[in-house]
Amino acid sequence: MSVLRLQDIDAGYGDSPILRGVSLHVDPGEVVVVIGPNGAGKSTALKAVFGLLNITAGKVLLEDREITNTPPERVVRQGVCYVPQTGNVFVSLTVQENLEMGAYVRRDDWRPRLKEIYEMFPDLAEKRNQPAGSLSGGQRQMVAMGKALMLDPRILLLDEPTAGLSPRYRGEIFQTVKRINAAGVPILMVEQNARQALAIADRAYVLVDGQNRHEGTGAQLLADPEVARMFLGAKG
Partner 1 sequence: MWEFVNFYLIPGLVLGCIYALGALGITLTFGILRFANFAHGEVMMLGTYLALTMVWLFGLHPLLAALPAMALTALLMLGLDRAFFRPFRSAPTIISVIASFGLMLMIRSAVQVIWGTQPRPILPGVQRPQAWLDGAILLAPKHVWILLATLAIMAAIHLLLTRTRIGKAMRAVADSPELARLTGIPVETVIRATWVVAAATAVAAGVMLAIDTQVETMMGFKMLLPMFAAAILGGIGRPFGAVAGGLVIGVAEELSAYPWLGTAPLLNPAYKSGIAFAIMVAMLVWRPSGLFRGRVL
> Residues interacting with partner 1, by CB under 8 A?
50, 72-73, 76-77, 82, 84, 87-93, 97, 100-102, 104-105, 147, 151
**Of 156, 147, 207, residue with least CA distance to 178:** 156
Q: How far is the CB of 100 from partner 1 (least distance, A)?
A: 6
Q: How far is the CB of 167 from partner 1 (least distance, A)?
A: 27
Q: How far is the CB of 114 from partner 1 (least distance, A)?
A: 14
Would you say 158 or 222 has its CB closer to partner 1?
Answer: 158
Q: What angle do CA 112, 97, 109 make, to 5 degrees?
A: 30
Would you say 145 or 201 has its CB closer to partner 1?
Answer: 145
**Rounded Cα–Cα distance for residues 80 and 174 (Å):** 20
Q: How far is the CB of 88 from partner 1 (least distance, A)?
A: 7
**Rounded Cα–Cα distance for residues 59 and 63 (Å):** 12
Q: What angle do CA 132, 137, 140 make, to 5 degrees?
A: 35
Would you say 160 or 224 has its CB closer to partner 1?
Answer: 160
Would you say 82 or 205 has its CB closer to partner 1?
Answer: 82
Q: How far is the CB of 104 from partner 1 (least distance, A)?
A: 5
